[in-house]
Structure 1
């Protein structure tokens, strides 16, 4: 903690230099209520931004701001960074146990082998376009004091291993020597060496080890270095387990591309570039797990929605032919939505899938406005060609106004750059592009389709009954 605090102060001074930043504060380690356990080497730095109208460039996107912040803090040595939102980070931790968008987990028994495989995984992930904040879970680097007894020397002096270990345990870990009572409060009295002595291997070597009474003629004690080798070695920082197996995690955030294609490419690279030993295996987690479950739900919800729309159209018109004519607006609307995503270089995300569901309803609504008017004129006795022509001309303005209202209403979402823009932009883009293409169908193609599926001279009863 004595090292983490100064490093964090340097980092905060660097971040506050950004013109868009109002203030910065940090949380290091675990709070008194340990609901979020973290070691003292891990800190959460919260960056509070100024209102957008106070920024030098109010139109700056979140991705550009993060890139500028990342370039600024890279100059601070000794740190690894991960940029995320507080709520997003907490949800990622609750869902998959990691803070990042993607987690590549390697499982096995030997910690050294796990670290080697994790480094190979990290290289494969970092080479994938779109990968940011790639890092391997810190598992080594903790200094450990190692006292290796010299059994021959111990036996030569008439000592036992238990006696040497007891002295070392008391000096370093401490031994309870009594209790201190203060009113109703009591605290144990622990005897051990001072921190400065316990952390110094050379001075710890002077620790006196009492000799047995039959050996203590002129010398009553012997230094610890005479009966043990004392060194400071690098040991494991932490050993994490999941489902009873040791695991090391490689984490990464994704920027500039969709999560699904990123994970697919990572899986391909790992399969071809990383040699996973027998008895070890790799799993993928993070937000990607929720993407899979959401995609599976949408694969059921979207077809079910389309079937329900078709069923409602049939109930509304009482005609299978008219229901299919109106429903034909859905494919062209979906095509327009996909084309809009491609033009804006946006991924086919879950929010875009929700936009396609909303788009289906809007496209069908325009078709109903047009077709119901044509059917009514035919029921009033107008000829087929005249009804189609007059209906298309009369409903041109209502259909066009409906399309403009829907499109213009989503323009602010399509151009959003603030919080939540990554969810709003795909949804709005799909709706705008789909509404424009479905409007073309409704105004020009739908009357022609109606003319093709219906015959001249149909009676009002045959029109009414489909």
Structure 2
């Protein structure tokens, strides 16, 4: 979910506008994180397995031969840059002619030794020079390749030269057109020195800045909060500069976002339940009796996860939301019967809720067992991906057991207390003197 692919579950990204700083501090942070037992399987996508070549021009030697840095740049571009030198126009399509070396000749740094630069290329050529044909191989964008050595392609290349709108260039080093005037070609190795160094095979970016992703897993019993504290401690150990910033990414960032939205989602669910029960009971007080059963379910779910050594994951959070709908049915069965007994038979709150608890005990037990036994396969875990589904089953079973044991005790008490509170308010309203309105 976001982030880059890795063998670990969680990702932490380092971002900087300086690639050298990132190359220096990312390995240091990885080593510091490995010293914290809360984190395991730590790895980075920063791979210095590429090779880069530098061409250091001997300007004195190049000037003696009339070669400028621009000529060297053009020669390198002709060999490796895929320069477009002409365009073939047909009735329907048009094709670009690309000047480049064969791919087999550009497999390594040794190819630089085969690059030649025209001597005196920066001197203006005579105005009588014209472009007659391409002597280098041209690769068509459609996949066809034409060479001057092939008689069947000579006419095509002549058509290219005649049909192009570009005039003959005075500088043959550009590769866009070739002069017929003789030129002495100088090996690039005669005027330049080649050096190689290691570099990154790829450079990742995040919002326009260079980034490196560190992936890790959590040790058994560790939470994402523990990992956050461990990473912060590792950064303090190496005194990482402010130019290198870090943030969670991928699964870790998604989990943090889910946790930040959790209070709002739970509040919205509770408000929805309260409004629906208020319309059902035609009361604004007794829906609170139903909601009083939910803390017991949440306590049981968290306790079950703790006893089995599982972390509170996103799947466990989904199980808590399912409990909000399953657990409240115990209180609904009791309160619905008690309210009917009070209204229809004039029973007191104590007698009504006692009778409701006795008569509704069997339906409550049957529905609870049916729901709990239905998720036993999830809790045990069968087949692939069982470790992902287990927290869901354990959360539901733990919440149902706790609610079954506690709500049968707490629901009658809360019901009687709220009924007395409502009765006192009603008596106070009846005993209040009537207001006298004067004209």
Q: Provide TM-score, normalisation by structure 1.
A: 0.64
For the 8 Å contact 1:172–1:198, the answer to whether it is kept is no
**What is residue 107 of structure 1 aligned with on the other side?**
15
SS in structure 2 of the partner of residue 357 of structure 1? helix
For 1:241, which of 177, 200, 205 is the aligned residue? 205
**What is residue 199 of structure 1 aligned with on the other side?**
108
| TM superposition shift of 1:150 | 1.0
For the 8 Å contact 1:322–1:450, the answer to whether it is kept is yes
For the 8 Å contact 2:218–2:224, the answer to whether it is kept is no
Q: For 1:33-72, what aligned pairs fall within 5 Å after superposition?
A: none
Does residue 427 in structure 1 map to residue 392 in structure 2? yes
For the 8 Å contact 1:128–1:262, the answer to whether it is kept is no
Cα distance in structure 1, aligned partners of 2:325 and 2:265: 14
For the 8 Å contact 2:32–2:234, the answer to whether it is kept is yes
Q: Which runs of 5+ in 2 are unaligned?
A: 122-183, 428-439
Cα distance in structure 2, aligned partners of 1:189 and 1:333: 71
For the 8 Å contact 1:329–1:364, the answer to whether it is kept is yes
User: CA 1:239–1:331 in 2, change beyond 3 Å: closer, same or farther?
Assistant: closer
**What is residue 367 of structure 1 aligned with on the other side?**
331
The 10-residue stretch of structure 1 (223-232 or 430-439) with the greater mean CA deviation from structure 2: 223-232
Does residue 230 in structure 1 map to residue 194 in structure 2? yes
Cα distance in structure 1, aligned partners of 2:303 and 2:397: 11
What are the superposed Cα offsets for residues 265-300 of structure 1, whole Å, 9 maximum, x if unpaired?
344324422423243322322123322332233211
The 10-residue stretch of structure 1 (431-440 or 304-313) with the greater mean CA deviation from structure 2: 304-313
| TM superposition shift of 1:111 | 1.6
Cα distance in structure 2, aligned partners of 1:247 and 1:413: 39
Cα distance in structure 1, aligned partners of 2:71 and 2:281: 95
SS in structure 2 of the partner of residue 414 of structure 1? helix
Q: For 1:215-294, what aligned pairs fall within 5 Å after superposition?
A: 223-254=187-218, 256=220, 260-294=224-258
| TM superposition shift of 1:430 | 2.0
| TM superposition shift of 1:197 | 7.5
**What is residue 316 of structure 2 aligned with on the other side?**
352
Cα distance in structure 1, aligned partners of 2:371 and 2:102: 75
**What is residue 366 of structure 2 aligned with on the other side?**
401
Cα distance in structure 1, aligned partners of 2:109 and 2:322: 68
Does residue 149 in structure 1 map to residue 149 in structure 2? no
| TM superposition shift of 1:436 | 1.3
Cα distance in structure 2, aligned partners of 1:276 and 1:345: 34
User: CA 1:206–1:296 in 2, change beyond 3 Å: closer, same or farther?
Assistant: closer
SS in structure 2 of the partner of residue 373 of structure 1? helix
For 2:27, which of 100, 103, 119 is the aligned residue? 119
| TM superposition shift of 1:397 | 1.2
SS in structure 1 of the partner of residue 196 of structure 2? strand
Cα distance in structure 2, aligned partners of 1:436 and 1:194: 69
For the 8 Å contact 2:38–2:230, the answer to whether it is kept is no
**What is residue 302 of structure 2 aligned with on the other side?**
338
**What is residue 432 of structure 2 aligned with on the other side?**
none
**What is residue 446 of structure 1 aligned with on the other side?**
411
**What is residue 272 of structure 2 aligned with on the other side?**
308
The 10-residue stretch of structure 1 (178-187 or 269-278) with the greater mean CA deviation from structure 2: 178-187
| TM superposition shift of 1:223 | 4.6
SS in structure 1 of the partner of residue 12 of structure 2? strand
SS in structure 2 of the partner of residue 140 of structure 1? coil
Cα distance in structure 1, aligned partners of 2:406 and 2:20: 63
Q: CA-atom RMSD, angstroms?
A: 4.0
SS in structure 2 of the partner of residue 299 of structure 1? helix
Q: Provide TM-score, normalisation by structure 2.
A: 0.67
**What is residue 158 of structure 2 aligned with on the other side?**
none
Cα distance in structure 1, aligned partners of 2:368 and 2:338: 19
| TM superposition shift of 1:174 | 6.8
Q: Which runs of 5+ in 1 are unaligned?
A: 1-91, 214-219
Cα distance in structure 1, aligned partners of 2:311 and 2:205: 35
Aligned residues: 360
For the 8 Å contact 1:171–1:198, the answer to whether it is kept is no
Answer 1 or 2: higher relative contact order, Cα 8 Å, separation at least 6. Answer: 2
Does residue 134 in structure 1 map to residue 42 in structure 2? yes
**What is residue 437 of structure 1 aligned with on the other side?**
402
For the 8 Å contact 2:53–2:197, the answer to whether it is kept is yes
What are the superposed Cα offsets for residues 87-130 of structure 1, whole Å, 9 maximum, x if unpaired?
xxxxx3xx446566433222323322111111123234444546
